[in-house]
Chain A
């Protein structure tokens, strides 16, 4: 976070504003970081955790009463002489400022200034408390927060401000007072646009849809089929719209079975829906039965469908009396029904409440573990992980299609499907992919965020609220602990996600369904959380990440292996804070990795320059000071495989030339700017030795005809241009590292390392983009050391 909000408009400014913390924007930026990364520092006692902490601390003392504001934020009231009753360090006198976004308390009483900034979205309940021992005139306020803490303030009633409570209430719960949330007035602009992260069609294309069994349906374009489903649905090809509508009437909240994810190889499908409205009289619905049969038929590898009902069996039975129920195995042919026995959301809410008692404010040292046991929080996490692994294992090992539902299909269902997808598909374990997953499975499919979190609202009471998304993120965190190298994002990202679930600073988690969001024009009027995250991805990266798309993760779901996520639940206790914040060391490691990459590039350049054995590739750009970035390896279908052992491309080229597999050999230059110049050389595949002989290593290569084409990074080069047209049935895929704005700490950014390869034109786009290192439209990311891995997977794809 070396440069903050203000600097995003242009990357060149960033260095300057970072260096000058004294300027108003610098202080503001600094403060924004504190606020937004509210992770380790709620009780921010000194302002900066950065290296030059002392100077900043001094400056902060001078302007301790200047409240840093977000763009668009306005101060509502300021009150002097308020006491903050800190459960850890006692009473503190200071100034309380309330804006329309946050509550800001600062005190200069002690040696180091004390600052407390809490956004008002996180407040779950406001209570007046009395302090009998502090005189009659003293009144107290307690803010019970959603993120497991309670703040208490005391002030004297005489000095007026009976309106403190009122101001706080109206700002914390604007929706109950018929006001708007702060997010609609938030004026920050980010270079990345988070609303573009998830494009349903692109995501389906990545999964290879539409195909012969599944199609993209616009049936719900105006949300008439189901008002809590997204506009774009993936439905079986073989069912008519009329049948779908009839089936919808048979499912709770009209949430029919739709596709969530499809296995790239076996075509086993993960399908989600609401409970069937069986009712006490055991109703049936032909169309629904037919729909499920079609789902079974779409998967050639198995003749069964596994239905996972997330609920406890007893709960499902009792729902039958209330017109709900579960699929009967006698009515639905080829179906096996499993109950995952996960308690309902009220149990979860209660469990988290107990957890709060254990972790805040005091932690009972000696009885810590048994207290955790008693909350049952970890047991619920275990049930979820266990259920999701069962779903994933059914899809992966048994190659059976799976249908998941609970009651309405938006709470436990979302938890299970998204966790299962996270286990099955490595794409969702990347930073971008995870955003897509949340957008798709949670936001798109209508998890009722507004109701479950209770954004800006104290009317609805507790009964609708439940920490289901928190539970999901906790499960993800458990997986990151068990598979430290499998996720591209780090713990800070997950913390950020949860903090902004409550903060209402971003529009991402607003409203209950896509329809409501469209009605409120959330996408145009607010900023997405992903904009913020993707504008500084280096803060959220995991240095241990190894890209591996294929691997399926099965976490160990035993309480012995699970841990309590103390960095989230118990983070308010200052004694839980380590000397070095973990994300700082992560960032150091990432820097180290970047440096190593740079070093590899440099050395590779030197080796190439010095080694006389390596073939010299003519490069017009090299004279002009640009360097070769990478030689793509030749890739031939059906021909002899080029040994993958050569980590060095020029060596590979030599081998290629001597072993004489025929095909395409290509290289390219990359200028530090944005364009990629291709040098494409063709050698015809000559089984009868008719074609031109492959060149010997050395200068001969240059005699071959070549062609150049400039392509934008991240794009798929179209088969335009004369030379490319001569290669029928092949298409060219370019993967280029996304060009990011230059950051202060990167003195020399490694040159973007593109990769180019040809694939048969019949290859589905999803495979192409996967091969290129990511969704091609977003700018694929790849770095040199990952290439061997990807190539081997590519070979696999093409030879089958």
Chain B
């Protein structure tokens, strides 16, 4: 076909008979495979394939090349390595294999010829036979395929055209058709609707979920209110919110109007030392404040404490969403050295250019803010309320960062998922607008969530051993945010999400439907296929990849926070004792103040405040306790050299992980942004996939030997040694990760896996390590822990890399 004419190839239709044949093949056998071993999804059909293609591997995959067959379907570009193990036909379908690229995540297709490179568009023609096909992805990957001399030229050209034609710049229509291609088939719909949710994480959707969270944090004095159950009070708030117990729902209802979009102060988290973290939008000033309203407002704001409330203003010191978008755009351009335009930053200007993107500055600012808040919280007995104009962007970043810093549970994989679910998904971060998958509103686009992931990575790289989740997990989450497939990331609020979702069991549908003209910012039309949540990892990642989401060795840390949260007995620098009760301070630009107009109603109403706060307000909030608060901030080495030895975080699990914020300490997330670097050499890495790590090997061997031991003498040893469950790895891995991942034995042997760790078990667990002189031995008393066995290839590095 190619032999004679190497001149010009227009994009043309595939010959119909071939197409039909392909279609009928995959159509007949819904779960079948292509003749060349591509395992198709139900309803997926192969448009084109090319044999004898080599894929360039990145550094983390071990570098080098992998040869196999390249496919283009109307959902993905798939690559099947030659000697890949045959997948089990009866296994659940995986949307994207390890080497696949979803069409929707392709941003640009570039081919490299013998002496030129060319950007390929649907309408372009090829005047040469490509030797290399480079796919630039939105998630900063660059996937590079090399065509061998053995690859038939016709196939090369056909597949290039097929890819160029089927990948589309994101538009409303194309996103929908992409979703349909992936999930639209009847089988797939059925499969998705039968999938069960991960019961081991907290979805924060029902009232019970929130109650569970309250119990986990030991937050007394708060209750779950269903006042927003029908999204009547606020369209962007979740159905259930947590408010002080002493405020009744009727009183609560009056407060919504005082806040932007009705986002009243809501409880997010309680620090083990007893402080509460709140989030709220800015005040609506143009509303008349009644006495009772004001009392209610203050009750909400002070929560179960009566002494002190600090309002942290987020707007001023943090980047705006437009800044973030600009910085991220620059960073992309810098990191994806573009082969088609061959504009590269000279090597000796690299650092300066990186500085010019300001991305690192922004991560630093967010981390700084979060560590300030974390330090405040550790003082105990106060509420800290994060205030942002809309309360839907940077307050998500800061509040979740604070929890990652302070709460060991949030550093486990499931804990982190619950956190994102709580502070982002249900709290109404506008994923739909910020993600801008449909390219319909470029002004709103801003990768706030990616900024958050970067901040978490900064913490992770500084304290890898304090996290149970690994950077692979963060990377997977990063990539998922670029794939318009997940319900979690495709709606602006819980309301929109439940409208879109077909899962009627979960959400409430009013009788008169949802046609509500009062909400002009309503999201997209409900998409056709039921979209899965992003946490359903097994849809996208193989077991092996998922095993890499957690560290093989459980971090040596952390008994659970105790229930009453009353831990601040020994905190000498901590509590500002001279705080007058009922004071509200504003923290802005690192300075505490109590401006008269902080709470707009105070100035207006004057001394006419009713209730318990009358006395204090007559005195007017004095600045007496400001030094106390400032000491609290300073005590944690944010502004000064630390005095005294750093407290040992292993000993004190409540000590927040404070990032180092000096210029040199905030690094670039190379595993993410440099993944596509084409200048990487194709040399193998000593710690590659086929070369397991010693600790991992040891862990496996422990596991294996224990199994053998169990087989050898099943009767006698079952009493004395903990036994791996017959169910195997998967089960163990599921129930071992529930916050108390350190002590899986208690889970495994004593009680059946239960979703929330029984709170009463916490003290017993906490006592365990103390009995042991050697702090590491307890790790091995429970060596049933399957995670040692199914370890991934990652092990905490000293300083990240």
A-to-B contact residues, CB < 8 Å:
43, 45-46, 48-49, 51, 53, 57, 88-89, 110-112, 359, 363-370, 372-373, 376, 378-379, 382, 481-486, 490-491, 543-546, 548, 551, 553-554, 556, 558-561, 563-564, 566-567, 570, 573-580, 582-583, 585-586, 588-589, 591-593, 595-597, 599-600, 603-604, 606-607, 610-612, 647, 745, 747, 785-786
Contacts and interface: CB of A to CB of B under 8 A. Distances in A.
Contact of B685 (A483, A491, A607, A610): A483
Contact of B698 (A111, A376, A548, A600): A600
Given A592-B553, A600-B698, A603-B706, A110 B643 contact: yes
Contacts of A490: 798
B351 A369 contact: yes
B154 interface: no
A543 B664 contact: no
A778 B681 CA distance: 37
Contacts of A379: 347-348
A607 B712 contact: yes
Interface string B632-672: 00000100111111111111000101101111110100100
A544 B793 CA distance: 11
B701 interface: yes
B695 A592 contact: yes
Interface of B: 347-352, 354-355, 360-361, 462-463, 465, 553, 556, 637, 640-651, 655, 657-658, 660-665, 667, 670, 674, 677, 679-681, 683-687, 691, 693-695, 697-699, 701-702, 704-706, 708-709, 712-713, 717, 774, 776-777, 779-780, 783, 788, 795-799, 801
Contact of B686 (A378, A551, A561, A596): A551
A554 B683 contact: yes
A201 B553 CA distance: 43
A591 B778 CA distance: 13
Given A588-B465, A603-B709, A610-B709, A785 B347 contact: no
B643 A607 contact: no
B42 to A, nearest CB: 38
Rank and list the top 9 A-B pairs by shortest CB-CB distance, nearest first: A368-B663, A369-B355, A603-B705, A369-B351, A596-B698, A370-B352, A574-B641, A485-B687, A610-B712
A376 B347 CA distance: 11
Given A366-B663, A593-B694, A373 B686 contact: no
30 contacts: A45-B642, A53-B648, A111-B643, A365-B662, A369-B352, A373-B352, A483-B685, A483-B686, A484-B801, A546-B687, A551-B684, A551-B686, A553-B683, A564-B664, A575-B661, A578-B462, A579-B463, A579-B649, A580-B463, A585-B465, A586-B798, A588-B556, A591-B776, A596-B698, A599-B702, A603-B701, A606-B709, A610-B717, A785-B694, A785-B698
Given A366-B361, A368-B355, A596-B702, A589 B795 contact: yes
A543 B695 CA distance: 8
Contacts of B706: 603
A370 B352 CA distance: 4
Grouping DSSP codes into helix (H, G, I), strand (E, B) and loop, the B interface class, with mixed when no group exceeds half, is loop
B645 A48 contact: yes
A489 to B, nearest CB: 12
A744 B367 CA distance: 40
* Of listed B661, B677, B708, B788, residue having the most chain A CB within 10 A: B708
A268 B658 CA distance: 52
B484 to A, nearest CB: 30
Given A582-B798, A589-B695, 15 more contacts: A48-B645, A53-B645, A112-B645, A368-B355, A373-B351, A376-B348, A546-B691, A560-B350, A561-B670, A574-B641, A576-B664, A592-B779, A593-B695, A595-B777, A611-B709
A131 B685 CA distance: 56
A368 B641 contact: no
Nearest to A486: B686
Nearest to A547: B694
Contacts of A365: 662-663
A364 B717 CA distance: 63
B657 A579 contact: yes
Nearest to B464: A585
A111 B641 CA distance: 13
Contact of B643 (A112, A378, A548, A596): A112
B587 to A, nearest CB: 21
Contact of A600 (B465, B644, B658, B701): B701
A366 B662 CA distance: 9
B470 to A, nearest CB: 14
B366 to A, nearest CB: 15
Contacts of A785: 694, 697-698, 701
A578 B680 contact: no
A574 B661 CA distance: 12
A559 B347 contact: yes
A561 B674 CA distance: 9
Contact of A370 (B351, B553, B670, B717): B351
Nearest to B364: A365
B347 A382 contact: yes
B713 A610 contact: yes
Contact of B348 (A112, A373, A546, A591): A373
Nearest to B717: A610
B340 to A, nearest CB: 20
Contacts of B361: 366
Given A46-B645, A553-B686, A607-B705, A373 B349 contact: yes
B662 A576 contact: yes
B687 A484 contact: yes
A599 B347 CA distance: 49
A544 B685 contact: no
A305 to B, nearest CB: 25
A558 B348 contact: no
Contacts of A483: 685-687
B712 A611 contact: yes
B637 A563 contact: no
A571 to B, nearest CB: 10
A558 B660 contact: no
A607 B687 contact: no
Nearest to B692: A546
A34 B654 CA distance: 28
A366 B357 CA distance: 12
Contacts of A481: 801
A111 B694 contact: no
A559 B698 contact: no
